[in-house]
Amino acid sequence: MWDTDRYAIIAFLLLSVDEIIGADGLEKLGRFMGIAETKTGGDADNRLAGLRAARDEIVRQGNAFLENIDGDDVRYDCVTEELDNVIDGNENLGIAGRWWWLMPGHAPGETAAFGKLEGSADRLFHYLRLVFFDEDYRGGNKKRFLKYLAKKWGIRKSILPTLEDCARSLDGINRRRFEIGDSDMPHREAVAVLAGLDAREESIRQKLGELRVMGDGFKR
């Protein structure tokens, strides 16, 4: 669980790189972590309760970390320094350090010994989808953060624009499908247009597959 919680901490840092996240950010973080609001009973309910508890603790500890940052002009540097701590497994006084002492079987003062958190184009794409359509993404700190994350994980520099193009294209395809479903377009014409959209989507997914991106949704 600890590594998956560290991936969720990175998502929190990305969402809050400019300001403490609000209701929309909490919902996005929940989706990233695989939280569904509908209950299905039994073990599924227990798992969802555990995920929600982890999300709430990450947000609580994360907000406490962010509130200790002195001034907006140093916020990005502090957030990316915490990103380094999370990925490298450094003992620290930030979010990861606070979270460590809450883990069962560990006590304050014990040395935190984490392995390096592995990254991939697949994980980078899921972080991109988390913030790509936010109004403050283009040219802002969220994009800057993703570039830094790619560098941290040794992912080649050219991959982020490619992932952006794929995300934009998939979104356009989904929007067009919705427009067709909500229109009075003749059935035969609609079938032909949808077939063309399916072919475009398959081409994009093949490109993502070549980059070892396995999906386009949110996953933990």
**pLDDT attached to residue 89:** 80
The per-residue pLDDT for range 12-34, each reduced to its tens digit, is 999 999 988 888 999 999 999 98
Average pLDDT over residues 47-53: 85
Q: CB-side exposure of 82: number of CA atoms within 13 Å?
A: 30
Residue with tokens 């304050």: 108
Q: What mean pLDDT value characterizes the chain?
A: 84
CA distance 207 to 167: 12
**pLDDT attached to residue 91:** 62
**pLDDT attached to residue 20:** 87
> Which one is predicted more confidently, 112 or 79?
79
* pLDDT > 70 fraction of the chain, expressed in percent and rounded: 81
**pLDDT attached to residue 44:** 67
The per-residue pLDDT for range 124-182, each reduced to its tens digit, is 999 999 999 998 898 899 999 999 999 999 999 889 999 999 999 999 999 999 999 89
Which pairs count as long-range contacts for 158-162, CB under 8 Å and 24+ apart, including other chains?
Answer: 159/121, 159/124, 159/211, 160/124, 160/128, 162/207, 162/211
Report residue 185's pLDDT band, with 50, 70 and 90 as the boundaries.
Answer: very high
What count of other Cβ atoms lies within 10 Å of the Cβ of residue 33? 21
With b for 16 or more beta-carbon neighbours within 10 A and e for fewer, the 55-66 pattern comes to beebbebbeebb
CA distance 9 to 86: 8
The per-residue pLDDT for range 81-131, each reduced to its tens digit, is 999 988 988 765 567 665 554 554 455 545 455 678 999 999 999 999 999
pLDDT of 184 above 80: yes
Q: CB-side exposure of 2: number of CA atoms within 13 Å?
A: 20
